[in-house]
């Protein structure tokens, strides 16, 4: 990019990258695969990525506090 006035053009600015893209769509509702006392396994259909790779999922869990806050499940070992 450069600026221009009546005297002429100034020097070029440093290069920078612009990434065009869109956020991914929402995943479908998960399906329960198995449930044990200390582990719940579920799966879901990967959403449309809108031409950008999905590199992580965040899964939130309602722990039954009676409010509208949800806890983020960890570790993030989904996929």
Q: In the chain, where are the structural domains located?
A: 31-72
Q: What is the pLDDT of residues 58-73, one digit of tens each?
A: 888 887 877 777 888 7
Provide the whole-model pTM.
Answer: 0.54
Three state DSSP letters for 30-69? CEEEEEECCEEEEECCCCCCCCCCCCCCCCEECCCCCCCC
18-77 pLDDT, tens per residue? 777 788 888 888 899 998 887 888 888 888 888 888 888 888 888 787 777 788 876 545
CA separation for the pair 76, 54 (Å, rounded): 13
């Amino acid at each position: 990019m450069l600026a221009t006035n009546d005297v002429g053009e100034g020097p070029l600015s440093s290069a920078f990258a612009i990434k065009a893209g869109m956020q991914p769509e929402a995943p479908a509702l998960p399906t329960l695969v198995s449930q044990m006392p200390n582990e719940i396994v579920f799966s879901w259909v990967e959403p449309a990525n809108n031409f950008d790779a999905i590199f992580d999922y965040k899964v939130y869990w309602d722990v039954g506090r009676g409010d509208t806050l949800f806890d983020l499940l960890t570790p993030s070992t989904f996929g």
